[in-house]
Structure 1
């Protein structure tokens, strides 16, 4: 899915063209899994 995102630096949250977010919205991946990913990413320090 990552290679299907519109941008190489896609954050997979609000970016238009995000294949990961779309997969969660359409049920191709679990919404719970996607939400856990967002939660973990929010806890990571920005580099």
Structure 2
């Protein structure tokens, strides 16, 4: 697996990588590999 996280603090990146490392699909693809890109944004509240 090639799970990468960037843009946040190193501790946050490590947490995100660890959390998504265990994510699995319900059913494997018939053939080949799948590439998925997820963008997560944190917005501060006032």
| Pairwise TM-score range, normalised by the shorter structure | 0.3 to 0.5
Q: Which has the larger radius of gyration?
A: 2
